[in-house]
Amino acid sequence: MNVTEQDQLSYIAAQAADSRINVEIETEGMTLNIGPQHPATHGTLRIVVKLDGEQVIAAEPIAGYMHRGYEKLTEVRTYPQVTTLINRIDWLGSFANEVPFILAAEQLMEVEAPPRARWIRTILFELSRISNLTLFLGDMGIQLGAMTPVFYAFRDREHVLNQIESVTGGRFHPNFDRIGGIKDDLPAGWIDGTRSAMTRIAEFCDQMEALLLNNEIFESRTRGIGVIPADIALSYGMSGANLRASGVDWDLRRDGGDGLAYKELDWKVWTHPDGDSFARFWVRLQEVREGVKIVEQLLDGIPSGPVMAKVPRIIKVPPGEAWVETENPLGAMGYYVVSKGELVPFRVKIRSASFNNVSIASWVLRGVYVPDIITILASLYFILGDIDR
Amino acid sequence: MAEDQDEATPVDVAPEPVEVPRAYGAAIIGDDRAVLFPTVDGYIETVEALFADGFNTCIDLTAVDYLTHPGRSLPAGIEPQRLELVVSFLHHVRRERVRVRVQVDADHAVVPTLFDIFPGTESMEREVFDMFGVTFTDHPDMTRILMPESWLGHPLLKDYAVGEIPVQFKAVER
């Protein structure tokens, strides 16, 4: 049988048409496993997505690869020892992890930190937010293919980490907060050094804005991608900048308890009405700028006095329960501390922001395209230690 | 279960909870730190009343095993059980917090899920199942979340040992 070129072409066309019809009538999904290892996830999160073509039908985040059992470990550690462990939950803003736990213990013991300690605590709290979110701003760039921002971020974050190190002795794990105050006073010349670091961070924010926000590729890859409406964000228990990017004006620094010095300062809570990936990036950029303003104000008015209240050498916390929540870099972080009146806590529940922020992934990833998965996960901004604890 | 618990609850479940927003059909202690103590049977009604009142975020859901701490202080009429479910809610407009503490019998640890009201509790309920063995009825995916699927036992129970790995130190050579 003589097969002409014409026959071949028509055969190919018919096959192609058949396969198209098959795609429309009956599709066979593909399961794609993303992770657990990914260079940009700061740890190990696995996402299993079911795909139809390039669209996600269903996505399921699988956590637990970094579960270190801190809630169990705290039950066999004394109260001062617990801060060593919980430093490692959100490792990019580690001082901020200690604060809500210490505040909860202070609430149970009815101890109040002296004003100077409260202010230095707030400064370090805000410095950890700045160092954490600085890295996010660069990291968001590299996940979308822009190499430069992340190098700038690592370069400028180092100035903040140097300041944290010169007070606490540790870049990432300060272990500096104590029940009733802080471990030590500030070293000489620290205030001026922090001021110049803040100037650098302010410049860094302008650079990020010039590099990314005006970039057409960045805008087209983030605008309208991964939109989370406000009511969905609330019902999923989201918090922090992810919630504010959906237009909910809620910040525990302003709306929360009185443990830190934020209510005596002049600053602003930024929100964005869009709820998309761009909004989440934009809100965090403004938060770094706001953090710089907060730190500068705090540096101007550190009260004098002691940095430790009178607390017994051996800390026994009276029986009771306390729930304290603060606005950490990643969102609301809360500690539910139950005490039996012993040296060790009876139960510590660590409510970390990323655990709830990631639980929305299966909702928000439905129907998006594969490259947008990376955008959305990057903009949701989680730290794996903060999910798994 | 828990018929005796029902009788012991000081305030019965209010028939129309929305009209009495500060009661929610359960006991309240304190002003700024409001804590409710519904029974397992009245749990969903209490949460629905809270939701209708504008508590639109379930900020946390966890449990505590009180096996080695039986003498905790509870309001009169609440019979302590071994497990306690602790759920925190947040009202963004009034800036109020409410904590719901439910006594759960450890031998029959079955609690209805909040997934239909607050979908964000899905992962937190899985964590409570993983760590305490409390089963949530009608939950879409009642599996372990943090521990491996093949794990035996529920680690945060008080009768689950902390565990240790023996480390053999080498003798110092002199």
Question: Shortest CB distance from B156 goes to which of A71, A359, A363?
Answer: A71
Is residue A2, in this structure, part of any structural domain at all? no
More confident position, B134 or B24? B134
Interface residues from chain A to B (CB-CB < 8 Å): 63-64, 67, 69, 71-73, 75-76, 231, 234-239, 248, 250, 255, 319-320, 323, 325, 332, 334, 336, 338, 340, 346-347, 349, 351, 355-356, 358-360, 363, 388-389
Pairs of residues, one from chain A and one from chain B, whose beta carbons lie less than 8 Å apart = 95
Is residue A176, in this structure, part of any structural domain at all? yes
DSSP characters for A128-182?
Answer: HHHHHHHHHHHHHHHHTT--HHHHHHHHHHHHHHHHHHHHHS-SS----EETTEE
Is residue A66, in this structure, part of any structural domain at all? no
More confident position, B33 or B150? B150
Is residue A368, in this structure, part of any structural domain at all? no
Burial class (CB in 10 A: 0-12, 13-18, 19+), A37: exposed
Distance (Å) of CA A206 to CA A141, A195, A203? 15, 17, 5
Q: Do B64 and A347 touch (CB under 8 A)?
A: yes
Distance (Å) of CA A144 to CA A34, A107, B23, B35? 16, 44, 50, 45
Is residue A251, in this structure, part of any structural domain at all? yes
Is residue B155, in this structure, part of any structural domain at all? no
- Mean pLDDT, to the nearest integer, of A208-237? 86
Where in the sequence is the domain holding A119, given as residue range(s)?
78-353
Is residue B13, in this structure, part of any structural domain at all? no
B99: which chain A residues are within 8 Å (Cβ-Cβ)? 323
Burial class (CB in 10 A: 0-12, 13-18, 19+), A13: exposed
A-chain residue closest to B51, CA distance: A235
User: Which DSSP helix (H) or strand (E) runs through A47?
Assistant: strand A46-52
d(CA A242, CA A227): 11
CB contact at 8 A, A354 and A386: yes
| Start-to-end C-alpha separation, chain A | 70
A-chain residue closest to B114, CA distance: A235
Question: How many domains in chain B?
Answer: 1
Residue A168 has pLDDT above 70, yes or no: yes
B122: which chain A residues are within 8 Å (Cβ-Cβ)? 359
A-chain residue closest to B87, CA distance: A336
Q: How confident is the model at residue A73 (pLDDT cuts 50, 70, 90)?
A: confident
d(CA A326, CA B69): 28
Question: Shortest CB distance from A338 goes to which of B64, B122, B123?
Answer: B64
Q: How confident is the model at residue A217 (pLDDT cuts 50, 70, 90)?
A: confident
- The pLDDT assigned to A108 comes to 86
d(CA A52, CA B57): 33
Question: Shortest CB distance from A356 goes to which of B69, B120, B145?
Answer: B120
Question: Shortest CB distance from B60 goes to which of A255, A336, A359?
Answer: A336
Q: Closest approach of chain B CAs to the CA of A310, in angstroms?
A: 26
CATH number for the domain spanning B83: value is 3.30.460.80
Q: Which residue has the tokens 């409410």?
A: B98
Q: In the 8-state DSSP scheme, what is residue A318?
A: P
Question: How many domains in chain A?
Answer: 1
- The pLDDT assigned to A125 comes to 92
Nearest to A384 by CA among A16, A88, A17: A88
- The pLDDT assigned to B4 comes to 44
Q: Which strands, in side-by-side order, build the sheet including B28-29?
A: B28-29, B34-36, B96-104, B83-91, B57-65
Is residue A35, in this structure, part of any structural domain at all? no
Q: How confident is the model at residue A199 (pLDDT cuts 50, 70, 90)?
A: very high
Residue A218 has pLDDT above 60, yes or no: yes
- The pLDDT assigned to B106 comes to 83
Is residue B57, in this structure, part of any structural domain at all? yes
Distance (Å) of CA B108 to CA A54, B78, B103? 45, 18, 11
Q: Closest approach of chain B CAs to the CA of A79, in angstroms?
A: 17
Supply the pTM of this predicted model. 0.82
- The pLDDT assigned to B3 comes to 42
Token representation of residue A130: 């700045």
Where in the sequence is the domain holding B33, given as residue range(s)?
19-137
Q: Do B131 and A73 touch (CB under 8 A)?
A: no
Mean pLDDT for chain B overall: 75
B121: which chain A residues are within 8 Å (Cβ-Cβ)? 237
Is residue A109, in this structure, part of any structural domain at all? yes
Token representation of residue A155: 């370069």
Q: Do B147 and A64 touch (CB under 8 A)?
A: yes
B111: left (phi over 0), alpha (psi -120 to 50) or beta: beta
Q: State pLDDT tens for residues B20-61.
A: 334 444 444 444 457 777 888 888 888 888 888 788 888 889
Residue A100 has pLDDT above 50, yes or no: yes
d(CA B94, CA A42): 37
Query: What one-letter code names the amino acid at A247?
Result: G
Q: State pLDDT tens for residues A294-342.
A: 999 998 888 888 888 888 888 888 888 888 888 888 888 889 988 888 8
Q: Do B162 and A359 touch (CB under 8 A)?
A: no
Q: Do B148 and A255 touch (CB under 8 A)?
A: no
| Residue A323 C-alpha from the chain's centroid | 20
Nearest to B103 by CA among B135, B124, B80, B129: B80
Is residue B97, in this structure, part of any structural domain at all? yes
CATH number for the domain spanning A241: value is 1.10.645.10
- The pLDDT assigned to B20 comes to 31
- Mean pLDDT, to the nearest integer, of A159-177? 89
Residue A183 has pLDDT above 70, yes or no: yes
Is residue B168, in this structure, part of any structural domain at all? no
Helices (H), B3-75: 3-8, 43-52
Query: Which ipTM did the prediction report?
Result: 0.79
For residue A252, which phi and psi values (nearest 5 degrees)? -70, -15
Mean pLDDT for chain A overall: 85
Q: State pLDDT tens for residues A38-56.
A: 656 666 778 888 887 778 8
For residue A11, which phi and psi values (nearest 5 degrees)? -60, -45
d(CA B107, CA A24): 52
Q: Do B146 and A319 touch (CB under 8 A)?
A: no
Q: Is B70 helix (H, G, I), strand (E, B) or coil?
A: coil
Q: Closest approach of chain A CAs to the CA of B109, in angstroms?
A: 19
- The pLDDT assigned to B82 comes to 86
Helices (H), B72-132: 121-132
Q: For chain B, what is the radius of gyration of the CA atoms?
A: 19
Q: State pLDDT tens for residues B102-117.
A: 888 888 888 898 888 8
Is residue A358, in this structure, part of any structural domain at all? no
- Mean pLDDT, to the nearest integer, of B65-74? 79
Is residue B128, in this structure, part of any structural domain at all? yes
d(CA B94, CA A39): 42
Token representation of residue A87: 């430093």
E-strand ranges in B32-155 read: 34-36, 57-65, 83-91, 96-104, 110-112, 135-137
d(CA A91, CA A135): 12
A-chain residue closest to B164, CA distance: A73
d(CA B164, CA A79): 21
Q: How confident is the model at residue A24 (pLDDT cuts 50, 70, 90)?
A: low
Q: Do B88 and A67 touch (CB under 8 A)?
A: no
Is residue B94, in this structure, part of any structural domain at all? yes
Q: Closest approach of chain B CAs to the CA of A182, in angstroms?
A: 27
Question: Shortest CB distance from B118 goes to which of A69, A235, A255?
Answer: A235
- Mean pLDDT, to the nearest integer, of A13-40? 66
Q: State pLDDT tens for residues A239-296.
A: 888 889 988 888 888 877 777 888 888 888 888 888 888 999 999 999 999 999 999 9
- The pLDDT assigned to A288 comes to 92
Interface residues from chain B to A (CB-CB < 8 Å): 33, 56-60, 62, 64-65, 68-69, 72-73, 86, 88, 92, 95, 97, 99, 118-124, 127, 131, 144-148, 155-156, 162
Q: Mutate which of A66, A234, A380 to disrupt the B interface (most B C-beta within 10 Å)?
A: A234
